[in-house]
Every structure is written in C-alpha cells, then in structure tokens.
C-alpha cells in the first residue's frame, strides 16, 4: 500500500459519509457529484499523483461538502466553492462538529472571477463540469496541479491532470474514468431508506439492499422506486397501465425466457432505432440485451409488482395466442375441442399460471373481489375495486379453459371438483411478497356453467385503526367510550360489503393494543387475524355454532366478546345473556339503518325490555369512494343533487371536491373507500321508547330528538372536507334521507 493510498483510507475512515446524507432532502438539486459514494471518492483520490500534506487545495463543485471534508483530512488547507448558495450553506452545516478548522466554503462561479482572498493554491480539484477553466489559472501557483473532469463520448467522464508551467496549463494526461452515478445501495442510504453502520451496510443473507428497503413498512414500493428514479439521470419510472397500450408481445417472444428472467429485463416496444426495455432492477445490465440487437437500448424502471404483472400479461397473452391458433386449427379439422383444455376441465400448467396471473392482477390493483363468469361462449373476468366492478379484457378464456381454471381454484380451496350442481364454499391462502392473503372462494352453478367469486382478505396481524377508517374524532371518541363500558351490546349494521366487520375489528385493535382486557371472538370465517386477540371459528358441520361458542365463552373469563353475526334467535339470546352477565358484546346485523336494527331484534324474538336494558349503541354504515388525495380539486356542485340535499336552498359557503384522475388512482379520480356512519347512542329516552315498541317512524323521530347522528350528516361532513365526491350521496342515501329529517317524519 502506497503512502497516498494509506492517507486516503485514513481520511475516508475519519469522515462519516452518513453526516452528509441529510442533504438528500434537497433532491433533485443533488446528484452523484454532490454526494458521491465512498468508493468513487477513493478511486479519484488514489488516482492523483503523490501530493504533499501541506498543500493548499481549492475544490470546485463542493456539493454537500463530503469530498471537501475528506480533502481537509488529507491537506493543510482547503477552500471549497459551489455556485449554489443553498448547497454552500448546507455543506457548512454538514461539516459542523467534525473539527475541520482548515476547511472553508465560498459561494461563487468558477468560470468567472471567484474573488478569493487567497490566490495561490498548490492543487485545484474540479469535480463538476466547467465550460472553461481560464478563471482558475490565476489562482494556481507556478508548478501547481489542476485536476478536472472532461466529457468522454459514450463513456464515463475522465479526470485529467494539468500542470501550470510558465503561466500556461499543460496537459499531463488522463488519470482515470470517474462514474459519479450512485449505486442503488448508496442512493437508498442517501434517501434514508437504509441505515449504514460503522461496519457498513448490514442486510440478511440472500437479501439485496433494495429488497431490504422494500421491507420498510413506512414507505410503499412505489415510493421507494419513485425516489430511486429521481436519483438517476436517464432512468424513468413508468406505471404499468401507461405502458400496457404500447407493449409489443412479439418483442417478448424473440428472447429466451431464462435470459430475460436472469437479467430482469422485458423488451416492451420499439420506436425508430430505440428499443425500450422494462426492468425492476435500477442497476440492470442493459449491455446484455444490447449485444443481441442493433438498436439503441432505452431503460424504463417499473416496480417489482408491475414487472411481475407485465411478465404474467405477456406470458399469458403469448400462450393464449398459441392456444387460440391451435384451437382454431383443431376446429378446422372438425374436432370441436380445444387443444389447451384437452379433456374437459383438465388442469394444465398454463391454466395454473393463468389463475395466478389473475390473482396477481387483483392484488396489485388492490381489488376486494374477483368475479369469473360465463355467459354463453363468452367468459368474463372482473375485479371489484373500490366497490365497482372492472373488466380484465386481456384475460380471454375459452369455455373449456374456464372449466380448467375453476378446477384449479377448487383444488386449492379443497373443494369437490366433481360437484358442479351445488354451490360450494372454501378458502385458500396466497402469499405475495411479505403479505399473506386469505382467499374466500364461493362457486355458484348457473345456466352456462359455474361462476366463481373470490374475496381477498389481507392478513397483516393488525386491523385498521379508527383514524384509518376515516372516522371523525367525535365518532371515534364515542366508539372508544362504548368499548370502555363494563357491559352491554354494541351492534354494527348495514348491507353485505358495507365494512361492518372492519369497523368492529378497528375496535378490537384498540383493545388489543391496550392489553388490559381479554377479548374472545367467534367468527365465520375469521376475516382478519389480530395479534393478542383469541379468535375462534364456528364449525356447523360438527355442531359448533355461534350460540354454542357464546355459551362456552362466558366460562373463559372474557371481558369483551365479538360475535361475527347475529343470524338467528338462539345467537341473539346468547348475546343478550352474555351482556347481562357483565360482558361487552360486539356483533353485526344485516339491516339498513340504526332504527331498523331494533325491528330486526324484535323479529328475532328478543323481548323489548331485554333490548332496552342491554343495548348500548347501534352504528349503521355504508362505504363511499374516497377522492384520490393526489389529484383532488374543487368541483362544481351538481344542481340536481343539491336540490335534493337542500330543498330550501344550499348554504352560501358550501363546497365540494372531485378527483381529476392521475396515475396513482388509474385515472378514476377515487382511491379506496371510507365509511359513512349513522350513530344511535341509547339513552334513557331511547330505552323507554324501545320498551314501548312504537312504529318505526315514531322510533326514528324519537332517535332524532335524542341526538341521532344521521348518515346524511356524516356524508356531508366528508363532502365538505374533500374526502368523498358529491356524486356518492345518491348512491349511499335513500331518496327520503337526502333532505334534512325532522321530528315525526315530517320534511
């Protein structure tokens, strides 16, 4: 090891690069020149000829101050210059506390007069590109060295050595090539997505730095890739939905699958003399594919999820085309049978990959349900996203293929593949990255064949919190107070798919986090697994029902019991009895609003006095589409909806919002859903009314007088706050509930 090499190693050891990483907040002002990697700095400094330690150095292109700080550990005096005053201030802050009294920062343009107090430097190091170095010559002493970057066509820039002799700079030669592009590892550290300790970056065996960063729960996969793309010049992050219309499947078919998978590359389309190649690896070796073609390669960065979706789409499209061609050829020979399906309902690897492709699409689109249906000779695949169904047109199944796909689904859900005349229900599991999904499968015979609906339930070990539900602070406090009661019955009601279980689980999560009370649930099925909650599944096939579970639970010393659903009189009676014996009981009912819930309990044969004494509150809810926060904008109110909402005239300060449509929401303007809540708190007046069992209209009037928070009130609050569009109100509110309700049912 030479003396210079040893000095450089010691200087790098004494200057923690992490101290300069905070400047990553200033992207895109920063580049690799601003905060180069440790290996790049070592490469540059070790390439310099031996320089005396008492040299006075001028560093041009100070950036975040990292290179200047290392130079200050090597030489007697260093002055660092940058033309950006923000960077100069930041660099000064970064070196504060490093005890570098021999380092100073100045703001100035090196292509003009720098007006420095000192005009005799032994060394000038330029780590940025300058159009001219003429202004630097007067600052260099006779015999001093100037090191600067020069562009090299189609290659990394070169570091060139000049020496001042008789007042003229004389080129001594190129020392090395310098690539200032940060590696993915360095960029992730700079962005704060990875932490580098004294021993360097520590990642588990078999895990890449990027894979480790993607496990960070604080940032999404797309956020990680968006930030990475911002650190790389010439690298563009593209959404799959934007890319799909441009994709040329023929290009994908030209290359070996193993070659493309090994290099994480997918050729997607060609324009003029450019081949655009998608990859989820920011450091992908494009040379590998460049050697196989005579056109220029342009990289496109996609997330790992979009890469898998694109791969699946192209593989399935290619195989589907082959199958269609084979089926057509077979039809021409009058056999009338698809080659791919083979025997009716035969399971093939292609059909397995087809089903997995549909699952992948559903997970990446954050769908709640998958619908696979047949209408005559047409097979339809749809996803329910934010409550609405959307067709997946690129999955074109033949009826014979549908039989095979249904059999794949049945086998994974442990259903009887021979039974096609009766409905069947089952479950299977799906692991996607680090997240598991519980798949609830339901098959239904129809006129043309079996239809399948698959519900996807994300299993995270935690339920949504009340804040994540979008519940207002006022309602959240009321809900929390219900959970703190010593005993009583709390009902969450609404139609199927209105988020009743999710609201109950939010309460359970609060109890699980608190940890002071024992919570037991009985469900059919267990929709979400929650840590620190004892969850039980009913098994009617062996005679273990909701009512049976309730009777056994009271001997388990619980504080809170959740009953997945009150379906019959026996379960309702056991729920009432459990609340009478000192337990808080949470459950759901299928009905339309909070007052209807009382009538439903009457219909189940529960005595009015029992309801009045044990019922604490009824929460009725619907789900409305949430406006995408990335493209929300003020909107003009629909006069028809406004006339229904405010028959006597709208408030002067009324406002509403809409989503313009953006890549984040796939152009829909909405992303996710939020609960609209009607909250009935049972007080003394309500209890007296329940005991008297009045008509529904009178009971609702009594509830309004007692402070009922109506769904209209909740929905209007969300409209004004910009959470939901005004157009959602007619969808979630009946016509007679659009206008303000008054006592006695009068308008």
In DSSP notation, 179-212 reads --PPPHHHHHHHTTSS-EETTEE---TT--HHHH
Tokens 């360095």 appear where?
186
Q: pLDDT tens across 339-349, in order? A: 344 455 566 77
Q: How many helices (H) and strands (E) are present in the chain, helices listed first?
A: 26, 28
pLDDT score for 745: 45
Percent above pLDDT 90 for the chain: 23
CATH code for 473-627+673-728?
3.40.50.300
Mean pLDDT of 108-127: 83
Tokens 């002002």 appear where?
29
pLDDT-based confidence at residue 506 (cuts at 50, 70, 90):
confident
Residue 319 has pLDDT above 70, yes or no: no
CATH 3.40.50.150 fits domain 3-177: yes
pLDDT-based confidence at residue 298 (cuts at 50, 70, 90):
confident
Q: Hey, what are 383's tokens?
A: 């996803």
Residue 44 has pLDDT above 60, yes or no: yes
Q: What is the mean pLDDT of the chain?
A: 82
Question: Right CATH number for 343-459 from 3.30.450.90, 3.40.640.10, 3.40.50.300, 1.20.1250.20?
Answer: 3.30.450.90
pLDDT score for 98: 86
Least confident of 359-368, 417-426, 488-497, 703-712: 359-368
Q: pLDDT tens across 163-176, in order? A: 999 888 999 999 98
Residue 30 has pLDDT above 50, yes or no: no
Residue 235 has pLDDT above 80, yes or no: no
pLDDT-based confidence at residue 585 (cuts at 50, 70, 90):
very high
pLDDT score for 664: 76
* 8 A C-beta contact, residue 583 and residue 560: yes
pLDDT-based confidence at residue 162 (cuts at 50, 70, 90):
very high
pLDDT score for 199: 42
pLDDT-based confidence at residue 328 (cuts at 50, 70, 90):
very low
Tokens 């009661």 appear where?
485
* 8 A C-beta contact, residue 597 and residue 589: yes
Residue 606 or residue 463, greater confidence: 606
Tokens 């563009």 appear where?
236
Q: pLDDT tens across 653-687, in order? A: 899 999 998 877 878 889 888 888 999 999 999 99
For residue 366, is it left (φ>0), alpha (ψ between -120 and 50) or beta? left
**Start-end of CATH 3.40.50.150 domains in the chain:** 3-177
What pTM did the predictor assign? 0.59
pLDDT-based confidence at residue 231 (cuts at 50, 70, 90):
low
Residue of 472, 475, 427, 432 whose CA lies nearest to 454? 427
List the end-to-end C-alpha distance of the chain, in Å, as a whole number: 92
Give 526's contacts (C-beta < 8 A, 6+ positions apart): 535, 537
């Amino acid at each position: 090891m030479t003396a210079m090499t040893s000095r450089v190693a010691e200087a790098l050891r004494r200057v923690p690069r992490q101290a300069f990483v905070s400047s990553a907040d200033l992207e895109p002002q920063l580049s690799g020149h601003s905060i180069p990697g440790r290996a790049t700095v070592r490469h540059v400094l070790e390439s310099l000829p031996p320089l005396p330690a008492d040299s006075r150095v001028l560093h041009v292109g100070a950036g975040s101050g990292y290179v200047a700080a290392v130079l200050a550990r090597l030489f007697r005096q260093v002055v660092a210059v940058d033309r950006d005053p923000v960077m100069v201030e930041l660099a000064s802050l970064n070196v504060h506390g490093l005890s570098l009294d021999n380092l100073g920062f100045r703001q100035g343009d090196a292509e003009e007069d720098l007006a420095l107090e000192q005009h005799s430097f032994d060394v000038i190091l330029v780590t940025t590109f300058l159009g001219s170095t003429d202004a630097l010559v007067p600052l260099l002493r006779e015999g001093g060295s100037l090191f600067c970057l020069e562009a090299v066509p189609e290659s990394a820039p070169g570091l060139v050595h000049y020496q001042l002799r008789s007042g003229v700079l004389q080129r001594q030669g190129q020392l090395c090539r310098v690539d200032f592009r940060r590696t993915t590892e360095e960029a992730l550290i700079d962005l704060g997505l990875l932490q580098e300790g004294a021993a360097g970056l520590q990642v588990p065996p078999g895990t890449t730095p990027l894979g480790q960063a993607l496990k960070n729960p604080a940032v999404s996969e797309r956020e990680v890739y968006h930030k990475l793309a911002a650190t790389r010049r010439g690298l563009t992050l593209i959404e799959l939905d934007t890319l799909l219309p441009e994709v040329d499947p023929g290009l994908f078919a030209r290359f070996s699958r193993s070659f493309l998978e090994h290099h994480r590359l997918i050729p997607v389309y060609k324009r003029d003399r450019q081949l655009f190649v998608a990859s989820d690896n920011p450091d992908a070796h494009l040379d590998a594919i460049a050697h196989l073609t005579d056109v220029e390669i342009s990289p496109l960065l996609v997330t790992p999820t979009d890469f898998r979706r694109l791969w699946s789409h192209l593989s399935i499209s290619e195989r589907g085309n082959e199958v269609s061609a084979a089926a057509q050829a077979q039809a021409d020979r009058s056999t009338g049978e698809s080659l791919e399906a083979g025997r009716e309902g035969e399971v093939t690897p292609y059909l397995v990959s087809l089903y997995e492709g549909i699952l992948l699409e559903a997970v990446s689109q954050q769908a709640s349900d998958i619908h696979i249906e047949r209408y005559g000779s047409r097979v339809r695949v749809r996803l329910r996203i934010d409550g609405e169904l959307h067709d997946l047109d690129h999955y074109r199944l033949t009826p014979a293929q549908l039989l095979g796909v249904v059999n794949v689904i049945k086998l994974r859900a442990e259903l009887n593949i021979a039974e096609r005349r009766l409905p069947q229900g089952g479950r299977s599991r799906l692991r996607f990255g680090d997240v598991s999904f519980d798949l609830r499968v339901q098959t239904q015979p129809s006129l043309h064949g079996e239809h399948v609906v698959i519900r996807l339930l994300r299993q995270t070990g935690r339920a949504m919190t009340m804040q994540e539900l979008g519940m207002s602070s006022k309602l959240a406090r009321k809900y929390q107070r219900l959970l703190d009661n010593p005993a009583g019955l709390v009902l969450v009601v609404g139609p199927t798919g209105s988020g009743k279980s999710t609201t109950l689980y939010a309460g359970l999560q609060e109890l699980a986090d608190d940890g002071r009370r024992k919570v037991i649930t009985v469900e059919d099925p267990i929709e979400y697994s929650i840590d620190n909650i004892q969850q039980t599944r009913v098994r009617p096939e062996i005679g273990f029902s909701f009512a049976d579970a309730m009777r056994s639970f009271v001997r388990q010393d619980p504080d809170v019991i959740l009953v997945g659903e009150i379906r019959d009189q026996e379960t309702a009676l056991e729920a009432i009895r459990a609340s009478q014996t000192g337990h808080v009981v949470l459950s759901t009912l299928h009905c339309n609003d909070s007052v209807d819930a009382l009538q439903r309990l009457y219909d189940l044969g529960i005595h009015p006095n029992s309801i009045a004494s044990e019922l604490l509150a009824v929460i009725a809810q619907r789900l409305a589409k949430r406006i995408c926060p990335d493209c929300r904008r003020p909107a003009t109110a629909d006069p028809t909806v406004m006339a229904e909402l405010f028959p006597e005239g709208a408030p002067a300060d009324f406002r509403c919002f809409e989503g313009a449509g953006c890549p984040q929401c796939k152009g829909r303007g909405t992303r996710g859903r939020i609960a609209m809540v009607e909250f009935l708190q049972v007080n003394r007046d309500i209890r007296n009314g329940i005991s008297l069992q009045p008509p529904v209209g009178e009971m609702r009037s009594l509830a309004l007088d007692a402070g009922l928070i109506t769904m209209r009130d909740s929905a209007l609050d969300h409209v004004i706050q910009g959470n939901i569009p005004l157009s959602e109100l007619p969808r979630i509110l009946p016509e007679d509930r659009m206008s303000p309700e008054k006592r006695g049912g009068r308008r």
